[in-house]
Amino acid sequence: MYITVSLLPKHTRNVKCEKPLPIFGNNIRNYLGYVSFTERSLEVYRKYENEKVIGYYRGPRPELMVRDPDVIRRILTADFGHFHPRGLGRNPDAEPLLNNLFHVDGDRWRLLRQRLTPAFTTGKLKAMFPLIIECAEKLQRIATDSAAKNTDCDVREMMARFTTDFIGACGFGIHMDSLEDGNSQFRALGRKIFTPTLRSVAILALKDLFPGVGIYLPPVNRIQEDILDIFTSIKNQRNGNPSGRNDFVDLLLELQAKGKIVGPSIEHTKQDGTPEQAELEMDMNVMTAQLFVFFAAGFETSSSATSYTLHQLAFNQDVQEKVYEDIRSVLARYDNKLCYDAINEMAYLDMAFKEGMRMFPSLGTLHRVCARKYTIPEVDVTIDPGVRILIPIMAIQNDEKYFKDPSKFIPERFSPENSKDRHKFVYLPFGDGPRACIGARLGQMQSLAGLAAVLHKFRVEPGTTTRRIPEISHSSNVVQSIKGGLPLRLVPRT
């Protein structure tokens, strides 16, 4: 059907949309836990295959789902000034951990982004690599123990423990021991963040369905005190000063010592059109929130991507052998030792990892909000401030139009020759534009190192409990997860 959506309250325009239900809109199956939001967006995307934009009601509020890569380019980069908010719909004043770079919008986001970007320079990444090597060596020992048992190993859990330990080392400056102890404090904290409960699912649904009362609801995750206690303890150990470790805590302490973050506003302008000055105080709540998102995003997305890649390699042994030969030949030039330069030379491993992220991106959808009235030239649709934008990246990355035989695992799609003519905005596992993932290079570096460490010593094969097509957890929304983990068999290479 067509609707004259209040997407366009002053300039109505027919936009195709499923008929919405009262209160629930088009999202009732997601609210009831039958499908994840990514799965729901995939259904709608495929239903309207000839449309560039589609109307969608998540609860009572309309959204515009964008299918066309040229329109996506406008939203994420060319006309970013009209779409800088992410608009995830929760109040950081009520939930202090949401004062992080991923969730905040407007001036808070811009000021944090400009100050946190130096943490991810090439020099910083190289300095972190010895920590990756240390964790990779532990990962090989854990994999050896698992292989000796000759039973299925949940590689999803194994890689989560690896990334948790690395994020602990380079972020907190402490050994989290998740690889040695699967029930360590930090691994338990990671599960607490990303394992949805009936309570958290209900609160998120109510915030969507009744935005006016959402600010009075309790936090979705009750971990504020846990993260604050960890940060306070580390800060006190360092006497409130940078320790010289050059980890993420040091960066936050350096920012606090500099005082308020000041910069031009993107929300407010003077009468002459120039931006007003914006300020942000680096208090404990703001610093704790950055540490939270560094930990949560750092381990969860990388472990999801690496384990899914291992799953696909288990079912594509010919591809796995090409990956192994790539790793073996590169390491032979570096005395069989992992290092920053060696990882950068593993071209086929990199292609395989990108193909894994294409098939199953950790973030299945991207979200933006219209900040200023905007007309989309490609469809002549005018949208008003406050309209939410949905970009279904998993649906796009699995579209036959852009990737032939999308259900097949074909790393060669990402060779330089095959990539050069493909539209840049049909592959967005890290987003794009000014709000692209700030830690994309770090995430890719630790992921490739983890994969290389495992595949250099072991072959992965389907186990007795392995499912060919893993089932997506229907309760996962922002970050996708697999129901029941990803069991595989690890076989030592001779």
**133 vs 162: CA distance, rounded Å:** 11
Contact 143, 490 (CB under 8 A): yes
Please give the full DSSP string across 295-337, using - where no structure is assigned: HHHHHHHHHHHHHHHHHHHHT-HHHHHHHHHHHHHHHHTTTT-
Of 360, 318, 313, 286, which is closest to residue 461 (Cα–Cα)?
313
DSSP calls for 182-223: TT-HHHHHHHHHHS--HHHHHHHHHHHH-HHHHTTSPPS---
CB 226 within 8 A of CB 189: yes
Please tell me the distance from the alpha carbon of residue 69 to that of residue 378, in angstroms, as a whole number: 11
Any residues with CB less than 8 A from the CB of 218 and at least 6 apart, and which? 203
- Between CA 387 and CA 487 the distance in angstroms is 41
Dist CA 219 CA 94 (whole Å): 7
On whether 437 is known to bind a ligand per the annotation, the reply is yes
What's the rounded Cα separation, in Å, for the pair 303 and 289? 21
In terms of Cβ atoms closer than 10 Å to its own Cβ (0-12, 13-18, 19+), residue 121 is: exposed
Residue 382 · residue 374 · CB < 8 Å: yes
- Cβ neighbours for 69, distance < 8 A, ≥ 6 positions apart: 396, 402, 423, 424, 425, 426
Contacts of 197 (CB under 8 A, 6+ apart): none
Name the E strands within 34-164: 53-58, 61-66, 153-154
Tokens coding 128: 């972190």
Which amino acids are annotated as binding site, given as ranges? 437
Detail the residues annotated as belonging to a binding site for heme.
437
